Homo-oligomer: A and B are copies of this chain.
């Protein structure tokens, strides 16, 4: 297979010399130039990137809003469009209406100006697309269900959008091992439905399941609601098929639970947000569908009781505990106010949602009852409700799953997705609330307690520069002080890439940049994302 020669890859030592010594290296901070004569931005260029705007307004172009400089990629020509239309007739769209949707993220917070949307059906087509783009130096934005929260899934400038929407075939499922092999564009919820009919479930679940693609889930290392029980995708993904920047197809689509033959290449693509390769197929280990599921929705009087309830239920529910989520009362007010949902347990500053999944409903019920009795007797929880039927379980879950949606109706949202030691989890919310006072409309905290994952969200009537100054870098410094992560599960995408150094040492960032330079020497794959600087 012919590989067009790209720019020479920098050796790591040379890269380090170019960028200076570890101690003094910082992400470039000079204000970037604008790409076009355009609307002036009143926002600081590398700030305000993680805010979502109320849905009613027109979303400004990202490149204009943040005054970014376009990298010197090729410009899409008529000949290029002709090539793609010849390659995949009817699936290479330049229709402005269709592009409109794919250019904007779900939060309506960032917008690109791509003029071409490609919908390949096979890895071979993806390979042909990338080989051509690599030769022509055309930038590419891989896109799954476009449900990301950090602007990773839409173009920043005019990158060609490479959608996995038509790569939606299930390749195989083995009911003995529980291993599913499917194309990257399969929708998570559809896969789960397919599996449930066969007595299995997907090992991950998240609010966006109705739209998100499994390829996007893997590319962003999505966490979600089942991680506590079934672990991360790094353990459950068994194989990947990936197309590299130069069109090389890397077939590591093993369907084996164990394989220690050489370095585990697939891991590099899990969580790389489409910057190192395009995932075209996934092999994943699926757990058996639990025979019994129950859900307890409980109120706690303070956060220390939320914590103690967690350690108590972990000890008493043991192997059947499958989720432990928490949310503060402000979250519940917002889902009631903006979405009209009804909170069945009132008057508590905190709520927790505990799910059990097991193989014997009698045993599970006994364990849950013992735990609830203990928690009530010890004063850990003051009120609550328990659901065992599907409909009520779904209703209770929606209280937690739809908080993100409710927030988008509350105004301009400043979103943070933080990992912290469990004991520190809510202190950040309290400190932030005290710090912002009346300047914020709402400061709310919720998240995956069992994983030490806090979703901190701040809303205001409109974007305010001084409010952002009060939040940042305070929130990142606070997180770094406790060795937390500034992105637990959302990834860095476009919005958080400048802040990676709060959670990763310079040596690690250098190494990542070197991997990027090695695998994608022209930098055509999802540019402007994940890393603060690409050599």
Interface residues of A in 500-519 (CB under 8 A from B): 500, 503-505, 507-509, 511-512, 514-515, 518-519
- Whether the pair A232, B220 counts as a contact (CB closer than 8 A) is no
A256 contacts which of B271, B272, B367, B488 (Cβ < 8 Å)? B488
Interface string of A235-273 (1 = CB under 8 A from B): 110000000001011111011111111111101101110
- A487, CB-defined interface residue at 8 Å: yes
- Whether the pair A507, B227 counts as a contact (CB closer than 8 A) is no
Interface string of A1-27 (1 = CB under 8 A from B): 101111011011100110001100000
CB neighbours of A11 from chain B (8 A): 6, 8-9, 518, 521
A421 contacts which of B255, B500, B503 (Cβ < 8 Å)? B255
Interface residues of A in 63-77 (CB under 8 A from B): none
- Whether the pair B363, A515 counts as a contact (CB closer than 8 A) is no
Interface residues of A in 48-97 (CB under 8 A from B): none
CB neighbours of A507 from chain B (8 A): 248-251
A419 contacts which of B256, B318, B509 (Cβ < 8 Å)? B256
- A372, CB-defined interface residue at 8 Å: no
Interface residues of A in 210-234 (CB under 8 A from B): 220-221, 223, 227, 231-232, 234
As for how many copies of this chain the complex holds, the number is 2
CA distance in complex: A484, B239 (Å) = 13
- A491, CB-defined interface residue at 8 Å: yes
A260 contacts which of B250, B316, B317, B492 (Cβ < 8 Å)? B492
- Name which residue of chain B comes closest to A261, CB basis: B503
A-side interface size class: 35 or more
- Whether the pair A487, B453 counts as a contact (CB closer than 8 A) is no
Residues of A within 8 A of B (CB): 1, 3-6, 8-9, 11-13, 16-17, 21-22, 174, 176-177, 220-221, 223, 227, 231-232, 234-236, 246, 248-252, 254-265, 267-268, 270-272, 276, 288, 290-291, 307, 311, 314-320, 357-360, 363, 366-367, 419-423, 448, 451-453, 483-492, 496, 500, 503-505, 507-509, 511-512, 514-515, 518-519, 521, 530-531
